[in-house]
Amino acid sequence: MDEALGPPPAMAEKAEELTPMLSQYLELCERYDDALVLFQVGDFYETFCSAAEATARVLEITLTQREDSTGTYPMAGIPIDSAESYIETLLEAGYRVAVADQVQAPEETSGLVDRAVTRVVTPGTLTETELLEDADNNFVACLTEGYGLALLDVSTGDFYATRLDRLDAVADELERFDPAEAVVGPDAPTEPFASGCMVTPYERSAFDLENAREKVEAYFGTTSLASDAEMRACGALLAYAEYARGGTTDGDIEQLDYLNHLTRYDPREYMLLDAVALRSLEVFEPRHVHGLEGAALVETLDETASALGGRELRDWVRRPLLDTDRIEARLDAVEALVGAVGERERAGELLADVYDLERLVAGVSRGRADARDLRALESTLSVVPDLRDCIAEVTDDSEKLAAIHDRLDDCPEVRDLIDRAIAESPPVEITEGGVIREGYDETLDDLRATEREGKAWIDDLETEERERTGIDSLSVGHNSVHGYYIEVTNPNLDSVPDDYTRRQTLKNSERFYTPELKEREEEIINAETRADDREYDLFREVRRDVAEATERIQETARAVAELDALCSLATVAAQYDYCRPEVGADGRESSSASRPSSDAAASDGIDIEGGRHPVVERTEEAFVPNPTDLPRERPMAVITGPNMSGKSTYMRQVALICVLGQLGSFVPAERAALPVVDRVFTRVGASDDIAGGRSTFMVEMTELAAILEDADENSLVVLDEVGRGTSTADGYAIAQAATEFLHDEVGAYTLFATHHHELTGVAADLPRARNYHFSAEREAGGVSFEHDLRTGAATASYGVEVAETAGVPAPVVQRAEALLDDEIADAEVTQSPATASTDGGELPEALLAELRAVDLADTTPLEALNLLSRLQKRVE
């Protein structure tokens, strides 16, 4: 255990002799022994002993010391006003932080003020705007034995639960949600969590089934949780969230009232994009470290105007749909918004004025919202009527938009309360006045009037006293220590009246007060104090009243989020010439804009005209569209062609078009008819796992094994090279065996790019497979890529030409050409055991397979000559 955590041994040994304040610190360290306790002393948060040494080292602040009758203890502190930035640094260093505030005013007691931990700040339970990196969800996960998984965003109230049947399925879900923190139950595995996720075993009692059930039912009543593992995960996670909220001085824990909706889901209800697919397809993050900013799928789709919409869109991308009715409902809405240009643009302008309603109302419910938060809430709710009017014209074209329209509740009584009660431009602090609008409360108005009258009298006092005393330099001032005073410089002290009483002596002047000034000061201070207290009480009352509408506001927030996400998809579709796909129905003969019937048969495969990669087309000056034809009866394509010709981009583009279609988006194509794909598998690129002891080839084979084991006829498989990390013979054998297995046993939609040209002969003999290639032409000084997909097999890989283009030294290129022309071709003819008889002798079977795979109708004269030249050398 980190020495900075838990009760300091030096204090624990002398617990009975410690001063009351240090005893209080020791008690909080014992209660929150897994967190670093920041202990408020005046305007600072202090730490002591080993915690102070760790804090000083991590935060690079001065280490001091505190002495009392029991000894001297190291001490380090941070100013409360700038605490959040320091807390963020402590979180990054791997610490949880328990913030112990003074919960009693010093003037209310003659002894030790009460302190309590008001919040435990952890990576997954952040609610502070300054600490949340962006508008995306910030999840904390909980995993139990039996693979019950719960995920909660404490800042928004989003709460999900599910149960998985395998450890790798747990890892896939965690990759989707990317939690910042995880708590795990007894005997629960920790391997599935990413290295950046803080993982901690939590109290065993929280995972007890009856305790968990009691906790869940206290929040949600009867739930649809389908297993005990889910119940334990949800109950324990709620307990942890309450712990992180902090408690009262007596240790009581308060319920998080804004958590009122628990979503139980089955991962099989959504297209599964596992960790490998998310990375390979660059769904959320660019695959390459030096990739262009925004070069990920989600960034190309995100034209949302609000934080709410951005989170909703990411959730849709994270979990594409399988239900065609839900898919078509989103597509209907996007189509309506594409056509309603004026309404869509107006909606975007209005949505830009929307604050983060979910986080605002969560703060209100937690009792942490300030007056500016309430004003932001009112400002956002004020936009809702205009949003409702804006989309009213397009609700006839979309049931989903009509439903959103009906759910847009502007909560008029909440708006009215905030507008009447809260000042238009309130200060940040809610305890120092200026928060409540004049006219809201008569008692407060009277106190403020008394305060103003007293200050006005003091403002006039300086002029009156100058006239009465004849001292032109006389001034009236105020400070927090001595209050109001009349200041007279030393040369004028002889003119001071007898009713002046000395208050303070300075080097060049004296400060006085009069009985009347003293009386007025007491009136002002009394009125000011009572007014501030009254104002704070009124503010808390208003905040409680607003919190009672939490559920209504959250429903409005969800409607606003959906509308913003739909507008974003429509904006992208209109701006980048996307088409509406036909998903899950046979649309080969129908118009791409028509909606298929809900009871239509499954789509006749993947049929795309003029498909484009949604990310690459944004980063390249020109992009060559390509078709895709993978009918249900012939779902396998073996793709050959040179490096850099576009094979990998093309295959990923097909996968992304399927993902886009199922999340309810238009797609980058001239026309697209798509099946409902239950899962996308990818085996792309080369990577190793040195820390895990896995070579590049082992990683490749592990990914291939998962595909061959889990894919089915409703899956989409993208294979970009198989078997290239071992010997040519072994690699080709694995590639051929995998091809045959996918063809004969799995039947998935498969795109297989390879440089094993012999594999094209295998594909030619398989009845449900087809060969395609990307064409290229040799030119002086290199090779020209056309990025154009054609039927048939490629005639060469042009590897030497690509090497030359990349800058490989000329002697190496020339030697490679010689070896390729003379030695490799001769060796292939000599060593091939599979031959066939011809009039001119025996030819290798691989050469014959390549000849059979050539599509003469789609071969250019130059390609034909190159092919003949290569074959002639091999025959010779």
Give per-residue pLDDT as tens, 339-382: 999 999 999 999 999 999 999 999 999 888 999 999 999 999 99
For residue 828, which amino acid is it?
A: E
Backbone angles phi, psi at 487, to 5 degrees: -105, 130
Query: In this predicted model, what pLDDT tens digit does every residue of 436-457 receive, in sequence order?
Result: 999 999 999 999 999 999 999 9
Distances 544 to 238, 502, 700 between C-alpha atoms, Å: 22, 48, 57
Any idea what DSSP says for residue 247? B
Query: In this predicted model, what pLDDT tens digit does every residue of 34-70 receive, in sequence order?
Result: 999 999 999 999 999 999 999 999 999 999 999 888 8
**E-only strand ranges, 596-678:** 606-611, 626-630, 636-640, 671-674
pLDDT at 285: 87
* Dihedral, CA of residue 8, residue 12, residue 17 and residue 23, to nearest 10: 60
CB-based contact 605:631 (threshold 8 Å): yes
Any idea what DSSP says for residue 584? S
CB-based contact 567:301 (threshold 8 Å): no
For residue 71, which amino acid is it?
A: G
371-391 and 357-366 are packed helices; what angle lies between their axes, rounded to 10 degrees?
140
pTM of the predicted protein model: 0.84
Up-side HSE of residue 353: CA atoms within 13 Å toward CB? 14
pLDDT at 401: 97
Any idea what DSSP says for residue 145? T
Residue 522, Ramachandran bin (φ over 0: left; ψ between -120 and 50: alpha; else beta): alpha
CB-based contact 196:139 (threshold 8 Å): no
Q: Which residues contact 637 (CB under 8 A, 6 or more apart)?
A: 630, 750, 751, 752, 769, 770, 771, 772
pLDDT at 753: 92
Burial 78-94 (b: 16+ CB within 10 A, else e): bebeebeebbbebbeee
| Ranges of the chain whose pLDDT falls below 50 | 248-250, 289-292, 586-602, 688-691, 827-828, 831-840
Write out the H or E segment, with its range, that includes residue 522. Answer: helix 515-547
Q: Is 327 exposed, middle or buried (0-12, 13-18, 19+ CB in 10 A)?
A: buried
pLDDT at 586: 43
Up-side HSE of residue 754: CA atoms within 13 Å toward CB? 29
pLDDT at 786: 81
**Tokens read off for 626:** 């390509």
Residue 489 CA to residue 475 CA, distance in Å, equals 9
**Tokens read off for 143:** 């995993």
Q: Is 837 exposed, middle or buried (0-12, 13-18, 19+ CB in 10 A)?
A: exposed
Residue 615 CA to residue 770 CA, distance in Å, equals 27
Residue 446 CA to residue 499 CA, distance in Å, equals 31
Write out the H or E segment, with its range, that includes residue 479. Answer: strand 475-479
**Tokens read off for 416:** 């009215």
CB-based contact 731:695 (threshold 8 Å): no
Residue 348 CA to residue 598 CA, distance in Å, equals 31
pLDDT at 293: 54
**Tokens read off for 158:** 């989003």
Any idea what DSSP says for residue 253? B
**Rg over CA atoms, the chain:** 36
Other CB atoms closer than 10 Å to residue 495's CB: what's the count? 11
Residue 7 CA to residue 30 CA, distance in Å, equals 5
Identify which of 658, 408, 662, 443 has the alpha carbon closest to the alpha carbon of residue 531. Answer: 443
pLDDT at 819: 81
For residue 172, which amino acid is it?
A: D
324-339 and 399-407 are packed helices; what angle lies between their axes, rounded to 10 degrees?
80
Q: Which long-range contacts (CB under 8 A, 24 or more apart) does 724-733 make?
A: 724/686, 724/700, 724/755, 725/686, 725/695, 725/696, 725/697, 725/700, 726/697, 731/756, 732/756, 732/758, 732/759
- Cα angle at 139 between 138 and 145, to 5 degrees? 165
For residue 238, which amino acid is it?
A: L
Q: Which residues contact 120 (CB under 8 A, 6 or more apart)?
A: 32, 35, 96, 97, 98, 99, 243, 244, 245, 246
Other CB atoms closer than 10 Å to residue 251's CB: what's the count? 10
CB-based contact 181:153 (threshold 8 Å): no
